[in-house]
Structure 1
Amino acid sequence: MTQDAFATALLDADAPIPPGLTDPMGRPAPKRFAVYRNNVAASLIAALGDGFPVIKRLVGAEFFDAMAGVFFRACPPEDPRLPLWGGTFPGFLSGFPPVAHLPYLPDMARLELGLRQSYHAADAHPLDVSHHDAGSVLSLRPRLAPATLVMSSRHPILSIWRFTTSGGPKPAPRPRRTS
């Protein structure tokens, strides 16, 4: 049995138990594998919920968990660091028919992903101007900090994010007017 075969069986609830998995008595161990498969699924769903808490609040926990199950089977993690998983989730949402009536959802996922990536970004080195005269300071090329997030959306995602993450009651976000 290869690792690929094991991983495929692990992510597909309908796949048969991989050959060679046995209990201490040498018998096939489908129940043990089913428990392991369920734990992996639950961990991936929880990790995605931790990474996209606003999306989870917006669609509801039960729907989110079902959607996360579809997502992790279609886009399993390629990196062992689960807190960084979900980079393809915004694109997944763009093509997921059950949320097509929520056109702001992919942009909200991009915002949440960007916030997480900004949090984990490298530290910025401050611009040291102490060794430069006034003329040479103007010729320096400052750069944005690695944690800088710049994005645009046709939807009021920042207002929705603030509304969803705030503790107290606030007025519901209003759509932006377009000219």
Structure 2
Amino acid sequence: LTSSNNNTWKGEMKAFLCTKGLWTIVNGSEKRPDDAAKSCSKWDLRADRAAGELDLVLSSEQRTHVEALISGAVMVWEKCENEVHRHHMNSFNAWDDFFYIRKQPDESLSSLIARIEDSMSKIQELRPKDTSSPYTIKDLDNELVCMAMVRSLGEEYSHFASSLLLFQSLDKEELKEAFLAEE
């Protein structure tokens, strides 16, 4: 897992863990048994195996975020997902990359379409997964307005633009306030 391959990694890792009979532990649906020591011992062994498999496929950058959690496969999986989506800057960068896509001179149109679709899937993957508050057109509008605001700044505002990307979230109202304060 790296900061740029979450879509592919997640699907492949889930499939791999399924083939090893470990996915139900990682996704949290299989809980540690309360009863016999033998059942607990078997479950603990499988949980350790799942955590080890996850650890083996993490980049060193991602591994630093989960080192303390290695004994809990569920926590490792959740922490990996949270770290990949942690910064709103990933979303901003994904949109920026999307709008800068240009056909290369030696590139086929089908290859261009594939790059565009891949770029959009990265954007979609970065959207919040909270089902109690689903992602809406209003959220998309907010992201696009924020992106336009930051990208519209000229070179003389490069330090200001960089400071905006340090905000906890890219919210239109917060950006407006920052723009007015900068003026």
Per the normalisation by structure 2, the TM-score is 0.30
**Bigger CA radius of gyration:** 1
Structure with the higher helix share, 1 or 2: 2
Per the normalisation by structure 1, the TM-score is 0.31
